Amino acid sequence: MLWPTPADDVDVAALYAAADRRPVGPRPHVLVTMISTVDGSATDDSGVSGGLGGAADRAAFRAIRAVADVVVAGAGTVRGEGYGPPRTPPELQEARVARGQAPHPRIAVVSASLRLDPALPLFGDPDGPRPLVVTTATADRDAHRRLERVADVVVAGESAVDWPRALAELRTATGAAVAVVEGGPTVNGQLVTADLVDELCLTLAPALAGGDGPRIAHGPPAGAPRSLAPAHVLEADGFLLLRYVALRPSPAA
């Protein structure tokens, strides 16, 4: 740990689990986690983020996912990164149960169009937590019916996902207090535009990518930038693990 208190030996899982995360009104606390190169690319030369990481980033990823009640990702990310059912290491399962959470988080895939194959690995574990699919009222009805066989389908919005409603529906459906959002950039950008990001965990990979790779958040301007406060800075093997929290007004008494 480089900041706020330098330390050589950090229990990464305990560090991320110790943060105070509470629901915000009717929705869960929203934690966005991403990796990018130093020059801002969120993907490697094959168009996915997986090649940017290393051992330190993977350890942080497991620790961050372990605090989630529900993991949210866009359909493109689920397909591109080859998502499967959640695999929580036994020691993190024990810590989750001790905190009153289920052994594994549930995964929610966001797809306004429902162009999702029910045969994807994510939907292939009949014994694991049932995935969720967040979609819109105008999505294809046949696809809706097919996906209902393998997932719980949540409708939030007409032709585009209504994010405040979607998050509230996920909290109602799962009891989730913490939603960890794993991208991609389009989903992140929509959340930034709607000012729904409460926390950002960003890994900076020690690399330069050039090219036209996407930023970690992409979409319409959000107006005045939301101010963030740094919570910690870790370094391992040249990777910087940064955690920020959104600065929001205190609720009225």
The pLDDT tens digits along the chain (253 residues) read: 999 999 999 999 999 999 999 999 999 999 999 999 999 999 988 888 888 999 999 999 999 999 999 999 999 999 989 999 999 999 999 999 999 999 999 999 999 999 999 999 999 998 889 999 999 999 999 999 999 999 999 999 999 999 999 999 999 999 999 999 998 999 999 999 999 999 999 999 999 999 999 999 998 887 888 899 999 999 999 999 999 999 987 654 4
Q: Which residue has the tokens 């629901």?
A: 23
Domain 12-41+50-209 has CATH 3.40.430.10: yes
Per domain, the residue ranges of the chain are: 12-41+50-209
How much is the pLDDT for 153?
A: 97
Contact 197, 226 (CB under 8 A): yes
| pTM attached to this predicted model | 0.95
CA distances from 196 to 23, 54, 164, 183, 245 (A): 12, 29, 8, 14, 12
